Amino acid sequence: MQAHGIGALLAQLEERKKRLAEEGLFAAERKRALPFLPEVVGVVTSPTGAVIRDILHRLADRFPRPVLVWPVTVQGERCGPEVAHAVRGFGALPASGWPRRPDVLVVARGGGSIEDLWGFNDEAVVRAVAASPVPVVSAVGHETDTTLIDLAADVRAPTPTAAAELIVPVAAEIRTRVGRDGERLAAAFERRLNDAMQAVDYAAERLPRVARRLVEEQSARLRTAAYRLRTPAEQLRARGTALETAARDLERGYARGLERAQSRLAGVVERLAPAARRRLERDGARLEALGARLESLSYQRTLQRGYALVRDHEDNVVATRAAAEAAAALAVEFADGRLDVVRAGDDTGGGRRRRARARGDAAPSQGSLL
């Protein structure tokens, strides 16, 4: 006995399904994610049925996109070869120009019996879908209908209308998200500017009064802070340019919302930038005053009052008599110059004396300074 009718078709379908699954054509790791917002949508279906009208209508409601339709027969003996040829044809289109390769491909047909949908169980169709360079959405039949193309596709949609909802987002939601992100960006920039101003105030209050090195470090930090204050504004302008580019890709109605958000951000920059410059100028003047006071406390001012600074041959400060006697040579610094003192022999045998000479011209011996 041999199966006949629907029984024979089901047996043939089960054998083909098992064989193709063993080859890995239905493996989950082969599935690819759909693009968030495709530039071009490809549809393989009948050009005269209700399916293509449903898909176009749903795309227009959610987010209009250019649609390329490859007309095929969706029932009968010609169905399988034509669908396989259409899938391969879309994959062979160039990536640029027009017509160009779509970013997502929908294979769609309305519901029907197993005999009506048999063309989508064709082995050539399954292999074409599995080898397609474009992600494929299967929308064949109703939710309860299952064909082999559903197993090979990257995503299975229960209906053709559901397939349109899967491949494009809702434009109104994107417009709302862009406006919300613009407001968050403006608030983040204002918080960062306030934090930078507080950091400048804190650094100015802790500036040391007598250490030149620390003053210079704080000055460098202040300049770095000033540079960072300019950076958010530059980033904000760059983000504004990116928003303008995104706005051009949206519909004209959505572009107006983006322009309002950019105008709001530009107003924040114009209000905050003058305040930041005034704060930096005030802190710079305070820093210059601190430097002048530090200069008034330097040791050179002490030398001008009649004191001298004694150093050894390693340029260390000599503060005691014992340290001076132990040094091989000394240098005495006055307000108007420096005098080197070298050791000479003592005629009495027990004492030591110094012979002085000024830098440049020789000077007569002056005896021991000690």
Mean predicted confidence (pLDDT) in 200-213 = 64
pLDDT recorded at residue 169: 92
pLDDT at 168: 93
What b/e readout covers 85-95, taking b as 16+ CB neighbours within 10 angstroms? bbbeebbebee
Q: Are residues 314 and 281 in the same domain?
A: no
Give yes or no for residue 167 having a pLDDT over 90: yes
340 or 85, which is more confident? 85
Instruction: State the pLDDT at residue 146.
Output: 83
Give the end of a domain, one of 122, 150, 167: 167
Backbone angles phi, psi at 66, to 5 degrees: -65, 135
Could you count the other beta carbons within 10 Å of the beta carbon of residue 368? 13
Q: CA 268 from chain center: how many Å?
A: 23
SS (H, E, C) the chain: CCCCCHHHHHHHHHHHHHHHHHCCCCCHHHCCCCCCCCCCEEEEECCCCHHHHHHHHHHHHHCCCCEEEEECCCCCCCHHHHHHHHHHHHHHCCCCCCCCCCCEEEEEECCCCCCCCHHHHCHHHHHHHHHCCCCEEEEECCCCCCCHHHHHCCEECCCHHHHHHHHCCCHHHHHHHHHHHHHHHHHHHHHHHHHHHHHHHHHHHCCCCCCHHHHHHHHHHHHHHHHHHHHHHHHHHHHHHHHHHHHHHCCHHHHHHHHHHHHHHHHHHHHHHHHHHHHHHHHHHHHHHHHHHHHHCCHHHHHCCCCCEEEECCCCECCCHHHHHHCCEEEEEECCEEEEEEEECCCCCCCCEEEEEECCCCCCCCCCCC
Judge if 293 and 305 occupy the same domain: no
Cα dihedral 165, 103, 138, 166 in deg (nearest 10): -20
Q: For residue 46, is pLDDT > 90?
A: yes
Asked whether the predicted pLDDT for residue 361 surpasses 50, the reply is no
Whether the CB-CB separation of 88 and 53 falls below 8 Å is answered with no
* pLDDT band at residue 359 using 50, 70 and 90 as cut-offs: very low
> Do both 186 and 101 map to the same domain?
no
Mean pLDDT computed over 331-341: 85
Note down the domain range covering 320: 299-370
Burial 155-192 (b: 16+ CB within 10 A, else e): bbbebbbebbbbbbeebeebbeebbeebeebbeebeee
Percent of the chain with pLDDT strictly greater than 70: 79
> What is the pLDDT averaged over residues 8-31?
87
Give residue 233's pLDDT: 60
Reported as a single tens digit per residue, the pLDDT across 65-121 is 999 999 999 998 999 999 999 999 999 999 988 889 999 999 999 888 888 888 899
280 in the same domain as 314? no
Instruction: Please identify which residue in the block is written with the tokens 């300019």.
Output: 230
Q: Is residue 311 part of a domain?
A: yes
Q: Are residues 16 and 65 in the same domain?
A: yes
Same domain, 125 and 150: yes
Model confidence, pTM:
0.49
Q: What is the pLDDT of residue 193?
A: 82
Which of 158-162, 242-246, 307-311 shows the lowest mean pLDDT across its residues?
242-246
- Predicted pLDDT of residue 350: 41
Average pLDDT rounded to a whole number, residues 177-189:
86
Same domain for 188 and 253: yes
Q: Determine the average pLDDT of the residues in 237-244.
A: 70
Q: In the predicted model, is pLDDT for residue 5 greater than 70?
A: no
Give the pLDDT score at 68. Answer: 96
Residue with tokens 């540079």: 227
Q: Are the CB atoms for 358 and 339 separated by under 8 Å? A: yes
Q: Are residues 162 and 176 in the same domain?
A: no
Specify the number of domains making up the chain: 3
Q: Which pLDDT score, from 0 to 100, does residue 247 have?
A: 58
Average pLDDT over residues 235-243: 69
324 and 210, same structural domain?
A: no
For residue 1, tell me if it sits in a domain: no
Q: Does residue 370 have a pLDDT over 80?
A: no
- What are the tens digits of pLDDT across the range 122-157? 999 999 999 999 999 999 988 777 889 999 999 999
Main-chain dihedrals φ then ψ at residue 155, nearest 5 degrees? -140, 140
pLDDT at site 346: 40
359 occurs within a structural domain: yes
